[in-house]
């Protein structure tokens, strides 16, 4: 099974990807996460991407496409969750051809919807485990034991440099202007399902599960 998760920043794509991976044995391919890794490595791509990411702008299509194609090959036929890709019409068109070339089929495109005030609240309260990357929120999704990661027990947490109010607004603008226009493309192909991203993480996952199991 191959899925695309779309939605505004903070909609819960990463959080729900973690659940989907565990439930359906899928591999998550997050272009945002790949770019953050490149930034940590201080590669040419990482340096170029960091400036754009901190401004809340999208990274150019050609760089993203070159990066994701190899990562899909690395999964060696496992089902994938594309988290945050495609994000422009050009990326969606290239992905279609890429899937044909790789002999893969796209089962569902799931759009998670949340309203703008929730985007800001979720991004400004987000943090994650520095060791294993598990995501949390200071109000909505705290570790079970304060300051200890549920998954790996680490006590070190990090915040993203683009999780501030100003950058969050630019990211949301980029979503509306460049990403939302690809939704009709998938709708016309009969592949799009939209879920309400409001409510608890378990509640949203139950909605996604219903879609996935009917896919």
Using CB under 6 A, list all residues that contact ligand AP5.
7, 9-15, 30-32, 35, 52-53, 56-59, 64, 84-85, 87, 91, 122-123, 126, 135-137, 140-141, 171, 199-201, 204
Shorter beta-carbon distance to ligand AP5: residue 26 or 123: 123
Smallest gap from Cβ 162 to ligand AP5, in A, equals 6
Q: 12 is written with which tokens?
A: 């819960």
Enclosing H/E stretch for 67: helix 61-74
Q: For residues 171 and 122, give the distance between their C-alpha atoms in angstroms, rounded to a whole number.
A: 13
Smallest gap from Cβ 119 to ligand AP5, in A, equals 9
Q: Which residue has the tokens 């683009």?
A: 162
Shorter beta-carbon distance to ligand AP5: residue 33 or 107: 33
Contact 8, 180 (CB under 8 A): no
Q: Which of 19, 160, 169, 209 is catalytic?
A: 160
CA torsion 153-156-157-158 (nearest 10°) is: -140
What phi and psi values does residue 34 have, to the nearest 5 degrees?
-60, -40
Smallest gap from Cβ 89 to ligand AP5, in A, equals 12
What phi and psi values does residue 200 have, to the nearest 5 degrees?
-70, 165
- 87 catalytic, yes or no? yes
- 57 catalytic, yes or no? no
Shorter beta-carbon distance to ligand AP5: residue 71 or 102: 71
Smallest gap from Cβ 98 to ligand AP5, in A, equals 13
- 160 catalytic, yes or no? yes
Angle at 189 between CA 184 and CA 67, to 5 degrees: 80
- 207 catalytic, yes or no? no
| 189 CB-side CA count, 13 A | 14
Q: Output the residue with the shortest Cβ distance to ligand AP5.
A: 32
Q: Which of 36, 50, 171, 207 is catalytic?
A: 171
| SS3 at position 136 | strand
- 171 catalytic, yes or no? yes
Tell me the Cα Rg of the chain.
17
Smallest gap from Cβ 161 to ligand AP5, in A, equals 10
What phi and psi values does residue 114 have, to the nearest 5 degrees?
-140, 150
Active site (catalytic) residues: 13, 87, 126, 160, 171
């Amino acid at each position: 099974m191959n899925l695309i998760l779309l939605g505004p920043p903070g909609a819960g794509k990463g959080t729900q990807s973690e659940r989907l991976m565990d439930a359906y044995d899928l591999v998550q391919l997050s272009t945002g996460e790949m770019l953050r890794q490149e930034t940590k490595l201080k590669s040419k791509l990482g340096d170029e991407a960091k400036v754009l990411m901190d401004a809340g702008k999208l990274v150019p299509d050609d760089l993203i496409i070159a990066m994701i194609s190899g990562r899909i090959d690395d999964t060696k036929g496992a089902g994938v969750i594309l988290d945050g890709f495609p994000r422009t019409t050009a990326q969606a068109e290239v992905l279609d051809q890429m899937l044909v070339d790789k002999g893969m089929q796209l089962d569902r495109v799931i759009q998670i919807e949340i309203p703008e005030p929730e985007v800001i609240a979720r991004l400004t309260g987000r943090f994650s485990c520095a060791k294993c990357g598990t995501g949390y929120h200071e109000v909505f999704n705290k570790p079970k034991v304060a300051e200890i990661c549920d998954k790996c027990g680490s006590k070190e947490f990090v915040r993203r440099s683009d999780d501030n109010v100003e950058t969050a607004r630019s990211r949301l603008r980029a979503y509306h202007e460049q990403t939302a226009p690809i939704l009709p493309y998938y709708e016309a192909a009969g592949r799009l399902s939209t879920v309400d991203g409001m409510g608890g993480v378990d509640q949203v996952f139950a909605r996604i599960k219903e879609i996935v199991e009917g896919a």
